[in-house]
Amino acid sequence: MGTLLWALGAISSRFLGTLTLRTQPPRDHFVASLNSKAEIYYPGSEQFLNASVRWSAAQTPQYDMIVKVSSEADVQKTICFANENKRPFFTISGGHGTTTLINNITNGVGILMHNMNNITIVDNGSAALLEGGVFSGDLISYLWSHGKQTMTTGCDCVGYIAPILGGGHGWLQGRYGLASDQLISARMVLANGTAITVSQDSNPDLFWAIRGAGHNFGVVTQVKMKIYDREPEQDQWATSGFVFTQDKLEQVFTIANGWLESPKRPVELTQYGVFSFNPDIDPINPIFMMWIYWQGPAIPSKYTDPLNALSPAAVDYSVTGLTSVNAHLQADRDGGACAEGFSRAMVPISLTNYSLPALRKVLDIFTTLPTEFRTSIMLLEGYATNRVSEIPSEGSAFPDRDANLLLSPVLTWPKNASLDATGWEIGGRIRRAALEGTDGKLEAYVNYARGDESMEELYGYESWRLEKLRKLKKEFDPHGRFNFYAPILED
């Protein structure tokens, strides 16, 4: 256990006195039982600090120890250890989850998944085995370099497994469906430490549930996913960003609605709107962008001509591959979307089309953002949905297959707890404004949830869904050990 001793050695003496568990025999036994590649970090060490840093500084789970696991057995032992010591535990992959419930973790045991990042192509190239800590960017580039691709998300630094658990939106969902639609099977460690296989044939109800409500049931140590051959004629991605001043809002989003309502939406087209500030273009008001992504060598002019006719303030254009489209979103590892250390809030709203008055209201809220919040953006994500909407809604726990658009602010402010209430209040106003002109029934994407959504908003309005989820929750997590992320709660 060389690495472990080394990690223990990193504890500063300042903290030794506060670690009540340190000398208790159960922990020594636990430590000795772990795989030799496992590490344990304690408060006061740099490794602990690094492992605790989340994408958003506004979520501050408090751990007594973080176990960097390296096998399924390590996960089992860590959960059993936490149970025996009546400690909450929490899985840490990409660290991007932003629900406020994460703040409920005190004296916790972190289960850090970063060592479990193996990707292996199996079944004659039709599937891949991914361990529970794989990052989205690593998956995209691994598959691409092996002549493969699958539905992958729009941000390299986000974990890949957690998005599956809540559905999983991103590139190629128009062709293949959601990330969760690619799931063939999963290995999971349940709240009592038991490891099971979940698939269509093994625990099929749980297999249904983890594809949309999956944060509630276990730690996923490995998944088997469908993957697909790259096809040379589809390998290029033409991308173009059109920047507009705010006076063009209604005109641009009328065009965007036309694309959404077209009876034959092309599977190649992603439309991605963003509100932000750019003082070079408008020193006072927010501006907005319409990014067009076309899977192919060139964007058809029927999409670009109407935007060019509105005299955009700036236009960029590039042709790249799937491994580089996230960089165009500034969501590669060095991009602004991946920067840690800021406080953040997301507030999801799924919609079928744009209400222009509602968009204007949201933009007006942006216009009045306090100075500290002016690096915030509003995401208006419009990935192709062809395959997503073909898959029967009752086939998995993901409830929102009717939605074409995923809206959410990414509110960003300097880490400063006295600003958090303002961030919360602005987020609430944006959500109410974005829902104007709809039937008012919020559909909130679980993976962007902020923590105040109802069960119906997160998991769907059909009562059979909620009953099924509640029954499964009672069976597999009766004591609510997995309740720090969009928990399934009793009526």
Ligand X SMILES: Cc1cc2nc3c(=O)[nH]c(=O)nc-3n(C[C@H](O)[C@H](O)[C@H](O)COP(=O)(O)OP(=O)(O)OC[C@H]3O[C@@H](n4cnc5c(N)ncnc54)[C@H](O)[C@@H]3O)c2cc1C
Enumerate binding residues for ligand NAG (CB under 6 A): 46-47, 50, 101, 104, 118, 120, 124-125, 190, 192, 194, 261, 352-353, 416, 418-419, 438, 475-476, 483, 487
Least distance (Å) between residue 192 CB and ligand NAG: 4
Least distance (Å) between residue 398 CB and ligand NAG: 19
Residue 124 site contact among ligand X, ligand NAG, none (CB < 5 to 8 Å, cut-off depends on kind): ligand NAG
Q: For residue 141, give the nearest of 119, 124, 163 by alpha carbon.
A: 119
Segments of 202-341 assigned E as strands = 219-226, 228-229, 237-244, 269-276, 287-295, 314-320
- Residues 97, 100, 106, 108, Cα dihedral to 10°: -20
Least distance (Å) between residue 238 CB and ligand NAG: 27
- C-alpha span between 218 and 42 (Å, rounded): 24
> Between 168 and 460, whose beta carbon lies closer to ligand X?
168
SS3 349: strand
Distances (CA, A) of 301 to 14, 28, 266, 318, 396: 65, 66, 14, 15, 38
Residue 18 site contact among ligand X, ligand NAG, none (CB < 5 to 8 Å, cut-off depends on kind): none
> Between 230 and 387, whose beta carbon lies closer to ligand NAG?
230
> Between 266 and 335, whose beta carbon lies closer to ligand X?
335
Sign of CA dihedral 415, 417, 420, 422: negative
Least distance (Å) between residue 18 CB and ligand X: 25
Least distance (Å) between residue 182 CB and ligand NAG: 17
Residue 96 site contact among ligand NAG, ligand X, none (CB < 5 to 8 Å, cut-off depends on kind): ligand X
Cβ(486)–Cβ(426) under 8 Å?
Answer: no
Cβ(442)–Cβ(458) under 8 Å?
Answer: no
For the record, the structure tokens of 120 come out as 């292996």
Least distance (Å) between residue 103 CB and ligand NAG: 6
For the record, the structure tokens of 477 come out as 């997590």
> Between 39 and 156, whose beta carbon lies closer to ligand X?
156
Residue 94 site contact among ligand X, ligand NAG, none (CB < 5 to 8 Å, cut-off depends on kind): ligand X
- The footprint of ligand X (CB under 6 A) covers 55, 90-97, 113, 132, 153-155, 158-159, 161-163, 165-166, 168-170, 215, 219-220, 337, 447-448, 484-485
Distances (CA, A) of 345 to 76, 90, 171, 358, 409: 32, 20, 23, 20, 7
> Between 3 and 438, whose beta carbon lies closer to ligand NAG?
438
Least distance (Å) between residue 124 CB and ligand NAG: 4
Cβ(157)–Cβ(94) under 8 Å?
Answer: yes
Question: Residue 392: enclosing H or E segment and its boundaries?
Answer: none
For the record, the structure tokens of 134 come out as 């794989």
> Between 166 and 487, whose beta carbon lies closer to ligand NAG?
487
> Between 192 and 251, whose beta carbon lies closer to ligand NAG?
192
